């Protein structure tokens, strides 16, 4: 029989294909498994590129994003963790571990000669059941502001407790909650700027109402401006040179060169005058400002800031309520930004420009201090996770307890469903409940506790009515999640449940893997 596929193409069929997908997915799940929970460990990722960058992190999405993976099924898991990170910010590790466990259970079922479609049908039923179980047990305090704030604090502390910030989690939870409540319900985290400044300890971090631009104030310019009118621009302010590349200007005497220079200067002066005509006292430019225009601005008493990085300038425009302008011919159509005070402040040894009393009152800057760049990067990731979760929770105010409690609640309901369901599906539903219990098991294992003992105790507890027990890794036993204040956002849990199941389903459906032949390079000799 002739080969249908090209020579180098590889195809795996049936059992082998399924085995390859299961093994790949489970390997990925085991890789991030140890980072789960408050006692999870960190991973060091070293890139092989230039500079050999080192990242120390325990954020599931960051770890998986940095891996180069060949196995197609493993890529699916990397994708769900990325989506989880973009969508709700937290639960990136959990989602992968859960999907991995679902596949581990399905492998056993497939070996028992149960058809993948039957397993998928069972999983579908189980997911519905688990989700309803959670929905019945959610709490919602959006009417009571104080209680809701306490909920947010608890959620932030729970999110941060598995990260590097866990030592000062009350402090950072407070920062995150303040920042998110200022957004007044929008999930746009653009308005919260996170500035990282090495030096000091993590405890020295603070929340600053207003906006900080990481630039210095030019020479001979006012150091402090009140009731500032700001023009944010992206324009070239270095045209006292001939800008056309390869331009040749032939002159017959030196005095002509001087004329050209004078004309260039005149052009610049006119541009500066147009800008000044907007009636501003602060000019922020994305590009360079040469010393000639800078001098002109200083004479006019205008603060000119050059080279503001793009994120900074976009955010500045957003925060002060101005537009980014690039032409200055009609001043009436340009929206200027406003703020009460612009001044220079010192953080550590760096001078920064501080805009306070900005138009968009929702904006704020969190300044992170820490021992080294790596610590700061990880702190920023942790804080970003917390901010994401909080901003989602402000919109969808339902909360649950944490610490393995939601998984046990779901597992119990799913178990009961399995007993009522006739046929082979019941095996799949049963497997789903075992996979859910793997999350608290992993949390306990990572804390070095006896997981088998704890999970069985927990299961017994959960058969009582309205139980709030979960794993308390600090004391190493069961704890009352309500008293400990360990809470999670319902939206995060729901996203975890649905994404993990869909990913597992997708991998289960595979029965053939075809790897295409690489394109041959023609010898161009």
SS3 track for 189-208: HHHEEEEEEEECCHHHCEEE
pLDDT value of position 165: 77
DSSP tag of 509: T
Residue 70 has pLDDT above 70, yes or no: yes
Q: pLDDT tens digits, residue range 146-171?
A: 888 888 999 999 888 888 877 888 88
Q: Which two tokens stand for residue 430?
A: 């049963």
pLDDT exceeds cutoff 70 at 206: yes
What gap in Å lies between CA 385 and CA 48, rounded to an integer?
Answer: 27
User: What pLDDT shows up at residue 18?
Assistant: 85
* pLDDT > 70: percent of the chain: 95
Report whether pLDDT(241) > 70: no
| CA distance linking residue 321 with residue 316, whole number of Å | 8
Residue 202 near residue 368, CB atoms below 8 Å: yes
Amino acid 524: pLDDT: 61
- Which is nearest to 322 in space by CA: 230, 236, 189? 230
pTM: 0.83
Q: Which two tokens stand for residue 116?
A: 């993948």
Residue-wise pLDDT for 393-419, tens only, equals: 888 888 999 888 999 999 999 999 999
Most confident of 311-325, 360-374, 417-431, 461-475: 417-431
Residue 85 is predicted with a pLDDT of 87
Q: What are the structure tokens assigned to 272, written together?
A: 């500066």
Average pLDDT over residues 341-366: 81
Phi, psi of 465 (to 5 degrees): -75, 145
**365, 354 contact by CB (below 8 A):** no
- What pLDDT is stored for residue 125 in this prediction? 94
Beta strand pairing status for 512-515 and 303-305? unpaired
- Whole-angstrom Cα distance, residue 323 to residue 336? 7
188-197, 204-213, 333-342, 484-493: range with highest mean pLDDT: 484-493
Q: Write the secondary structure of 416-444 as one string of H (helix), E (strand) and C (coil).
A: HHHHHCCCCHHHHHHHHHHHHHHHHHHHH
For the segment(s) 211-360, the CATH number from 3.20.20.105, 3.50.50.60, 2.40.33.10, 3.50.7.10 is 3.50.7.10
Q: How far apart are the C-alpha atoms of 231 and 317, rounded to whole Å?
A: 9
DSSP state at residue 314: H
Mean pLDDT, range 420-442, rounded to an integer: 92
Query: CA-to-CA distance for 359 and 14, rounded, in angstroms?
Result: 62
Compute, in degrees rounded to 10, the torsion defined by CA atoms 135, 138, 144, 145. Answer: -100
Residue 184 has pLDDT above 80, yes or no: no
How high is the pLDDT of residue 145?
84
Burial class (CB in 10 A: 0-12, 13-18, 19+), 417: buried
Flag whether pLDDT at 242 surpasses 70: no
* Cβ count near 393 (within 10 Å): 25
Residue 207 has pLDDT above 80, yes or no: yes
**Per-residue CA distances from 250 to 262, 301, 319 (Å):** 16, 39, 49
Average pLDDT, the chain: 85
Answer whether residue 246 shows pLDDT above 70.
Answer: no
The owner of tokens 């049963």 is 430
Highest mean pLDDT among 189-193, 216-220, 438-442: 438-442
User: CB–CB of 402/393 below 8 Å?
Assistant: no
pLDDT in tens, 6-51: 777 778 787 888 888 889 899 999 989 999 888 888 889 888 877 7
Question: Using an 8 Å Cβ cutoff, are 137 and 487 in contact?
Answer: no
pLDDT attached to residue 9: 77
For the chain, the domains span 10-140+400-515, 211-360
| Residue 455: pLDDT over 70 | yes
What pLDDT is attached to residue 240? 53
**Quick check: do 10-140+400-515 and 211-360 share a fold?**
no
Question: Is pLDDT of 332 > 60?
Answer: yes
∠ Cα 278 293 281 (to 5°) = 35
Residue 459 burial (C-beta neighbours within 10 Å; 0-12, 13-18, 19+): middle
Using one digit for the tens of pLDDT, what is the confidence trace for 83-110?
888 888 888 899 999 999 999 999 999 9
Using pLDDT thresholds of 50, 70 and 90, give the confidence band for residue 198. confident
Residue 1 has pLDDT above 50, yes or no: no
In angstroms, rounded to a whole number, what is the distance separating the alpha carbons of residues 364 and 178?
10
d(C-alpha 61, C-alpha 80), whole Å:
9
498, pLDDT greater than 90: yes
| Homologous superfamily, domain 10-140+400-515 | GroEL-like equatorial domain (1.10.560.10)
Residue pair 341/357 in contact by the 8 Å Cβ criterion? yes
Q: Which residues pair with 196 in a beta bridge?
A: 368
Res 250: pLDDT: 80
Chain mean position to CA 4: 45
Q: Which residues are catalytic?
A: 59, 92-93, 385
Structure confidence by residue, pLDDT tens digits, 248-284: 778 888 888 788 888 888 888 888 888 888 888 888 8
Q: Which tokens go with 275? A: 């800008």
pLDDT at 2 over 60: no
Q: What are the tokens at 501? A: 């199941």
């Amino acid at each position: 029989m002739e080969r249908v596929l090209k020579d180098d193409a590889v195809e795996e069929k049936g059992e082998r294909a399924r085995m390859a997908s299961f093994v790949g997915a489970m390997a990925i799940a085991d890789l991030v498994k140890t980072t789960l929970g408050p006692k999870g460990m960190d991973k060091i990722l070293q890139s092989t590129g230039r500079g050999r960058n080192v990242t120390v992190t325990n954020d599931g999405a960051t770890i998986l994003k940095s891996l180069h993976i060949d196995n197609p099924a493993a890529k699916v898991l990397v994708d769900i963790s990325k989506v989880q990170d973009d969508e709700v910010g937290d639960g990136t590790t959990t989602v992968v571990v859960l999907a991995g466990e679902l596949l581990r259970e399905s492998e056993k079922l497939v070996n028992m000669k149960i058809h993948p479609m039957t397993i998928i049908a069972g999983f579908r039923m189980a997911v519905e059941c688990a989700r309803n179980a959670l929905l019945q047990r959610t709490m919602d305090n959006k009417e009571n502001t104080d209680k809701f704030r306490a909920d947010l604090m608890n959620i932030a502390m729970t999110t941060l407790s598995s990260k590097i910030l866990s030592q000062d989690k009350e402090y950072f939870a407070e920062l995150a909650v303040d920042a998110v409540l200022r957004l007044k319900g929008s999930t746009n985290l653009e308005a919260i700027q996170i500035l990282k400044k090495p030096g000091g300890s993590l405890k020295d971090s603070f929340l600053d109402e207003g906006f900080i631009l990481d630039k210095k104030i030019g020479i001979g310019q006012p150091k402090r401006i009140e009731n500032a009118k700001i023009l944010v621009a992206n324009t070239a302010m270095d045209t006292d040179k001939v800008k056309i590349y390869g331009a040749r200007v032939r002159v017959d005497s030196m005095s002509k060169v001087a004329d050209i220079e004078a004309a260039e200067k005149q052009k610049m002066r006119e541009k500066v005058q147009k800008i000044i005509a907007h009636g501003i006292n602060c000019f922020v430019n994305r590009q360079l400002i040469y010393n000639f225009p800078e001098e002109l601005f200083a004479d006019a008493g205008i603060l000119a800031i050059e080279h503001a990085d793009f994120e900074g300038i976009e955010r500045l425009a957003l925060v002060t309520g101005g537009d980014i302008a690039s032409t200055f011919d009609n001043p009436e159509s340009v929206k200027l930004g406003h703020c009460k005070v612009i001044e220079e402040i010192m953080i550590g040894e760096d001078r920064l420009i501080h805009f306070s009393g900005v138009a968009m009152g929702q904006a704020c800057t969190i300044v992170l201090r820490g021992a080294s760049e790596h610590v700061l990067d990880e702190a920023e990731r942790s804080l970003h996770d917390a901010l994401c979760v909080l901003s989602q929770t402000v919109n969808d105010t339902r909360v649950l307890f944490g610490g393995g409690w939601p998984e046990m609640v779901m597992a119990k309901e799913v178990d009961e469903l399995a007993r009522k369901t006739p046929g082979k599906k019941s095996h799949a539903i049963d497997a789903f409940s075992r996979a859910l219990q793997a999350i608290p098991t992993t949390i306990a294992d990572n804390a070095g506790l006896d997981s088998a003992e704890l999970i069985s105790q927990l299961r017994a507890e959960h058969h009582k009515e309205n139980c709030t027990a979960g794993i308390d890794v600090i004391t190493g036993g069961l704890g009352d999640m309500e008293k400990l204040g360990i809470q999670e956002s319902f939206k995060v849990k729901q996203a975890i449940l649905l994404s993990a199941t869909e990913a597992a389903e997708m991998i289960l459906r595979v029965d053939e893997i075809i790897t295409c032949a690489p394109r041959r390079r023609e010898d161009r000799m």
